[in-house]
Amino acid sequence: MAAELNGQTPGMDVLSAIRSKRDTRAFTDRSVPDDVLGRVLDAARMAGSAKNRQPVRLIVVTDPEVIEALKGPCDFAAWIHGAPVVVVGCVERSDSIRLQFDLGRHLQNLMLAAHAEGLATCPVTVQRVADVSPILDIPETHEALMYIPLGYRAAGGEAPPAIASPRLSMDEYVSYGSFGG
Ligand SMILES: Cc1cc2nc3c(=O)[nH]c(=O)nc-3n(C[C@H](O)[C@H](O)[C@H](O)COP(=O)(O)O)c2cc1C
């Protein structure tokens, strides 16, 4: 039986999850159990936000026709019909990038929790934000900026090694005291 930690059953540890997560765009037909999805959504919910304003709302979409319609506002979403679930990330309309940062925190929590639960994900950018609102009845106060399709990984769902995205070296990525210093 898994060890208990502060009343929680630990999944993959955080550093392992961060290091091993690869964005994945192909999924099996297996549906996502409600309890698994619930834990993933709860991990997103627990993200902090500036002044605890909590401007983020998530919409869970499982209807294949609606998932198909969600491709329209995006330029790089031709593959999302393969996902059994698409989580749509909405945030209060604002000129402040702090709210977009909040949405990013929520969705990164969601993706890491999904990974720890054995689910694959990949963020999708909405290029034509206004076009999502009528599909999902999103009120004027909020806008959908990103989707997170999720499901169980199909073989070959990640970018092949030849085009997989390498990361910057630590020397390129981090400088000390000044930019490039
Ligand atoms: C903000 C953001 C937007 C992204 N938008 C898309 C997208 O619209 N469509 C897509 O297929 N992948 C999208 N991606 C996935 C990136 O292509 C992926 O994170 C990157 O290539 C690293 O992939 P890796 O996990 O294979 O290293 C997005 C990622 C981020 C962080």
Domain boundaries of the chain, sorted by first residue: 38-154
pLDDT digits (tens, 9 = 90+) for 22-50: 899 999 999 999 999 999 999 999 999 99
C-beta 125 within 6 A of ligand 1: yes
pLDDT reported for residue 2: 43
Q: Which helix (H) or strand (E) holds 45?
A: helix 34-45
CATH class label, 38-154: alpha beta
**Residue 101 Cβ < 6 Å to ligand 1:** no
Ligand 1 center to residue 145 CA distance, Å? 14
Helices (H), 3-153: 14-20, 34-45, 64-70, 97-116, 133-136
Give the nearest ligand 1 atom to 75 CA: 8
Atom of ligand 1 nearest to the CA of 159: 26
DSSP state, 114?
A: H
Region 15-25: mean pLDDT is: 89
pLDDT tens-digit map of 87-143? 999 999 998 999 999 999 999 999 999 999 999 999 999 999 999 999 999 999 999
Centre of ligand 1 from the C-alpha of residue 147, in Å:
11
pTM for the predicted model, two decimal places: 0.92
Among 48-62, 110-124, 152-166, which is the least confidently predicted range? 152-166
